[in-house]
Amino acid sequence: MKPVIVVHGGAGRIFKEREEGSRTGVVRAALRGYGILKQGGSALDAVEEAVRSMEDDPHFNAGCGSVLNEKGEVEMDAIIMDGKNLDSGAVSAVKCIANPIKLARLVMEKTKHMLLTDRGAHLFAQAMGIPETPGEKLITERSRERWRNNLEPDSNPQEFQKDLGTVGAVAIDSEGNVACATSTGGLSNKLTGRVGDTACIGSGGYADNHSGATSTTGHGESIMKVVLARLILYHMEQGMSPEMAADTALDYMKTRVGGLGGVIVVDNSGEWAARFSTKQMSWATVKDDQIAR
Active-site positions read 166
In one-letter notation, the amino acid at residue 204 is G
- The reply, when asked if residue 218 is annotated as ligand binding, is yes
Q: Is the dihedral of CA 122, 126, 129, 131 positive or negative?
A: positive
Q: How far apart are CA 179 and CA 42, in angstroms?
A: 9
Q: Which of 7, 18, 282, 11 is nearest to 143 (CA)?
A: 18
Beta strand 290-292 with 178-184 is unpaired
- The reply, when asked if residue 195 is annotated as ligand binding, is yes
Beta bridge partners of 117: 92
DSSP 178: E
- The reply, when asked if residue 219 is annotated as ligand binding, is yes
Beta strand 280-287 with 290-292 is antiparallel
CA 75 to chain centre: 15
How would you class 47 by CB atoms within 10 Å of its CB: exposed for 0-12, middle for 13-18, buried for 19 or more? buried
- The reply, when asked if residue 196 is annotated as ligand binding, is yes
- The reply, when asked if residue 185 is annotated as ligand binding, is no
Q: Are 27 and 6 in contact (CB under 8 A)?
A: no
- The reply, when asked if residue 220 is annotated as ligand binding, is yes
Known binding-site residue numbers for substrate: 194-197, 217-220
Known binding-site residue numbers: 194-197, 217-220
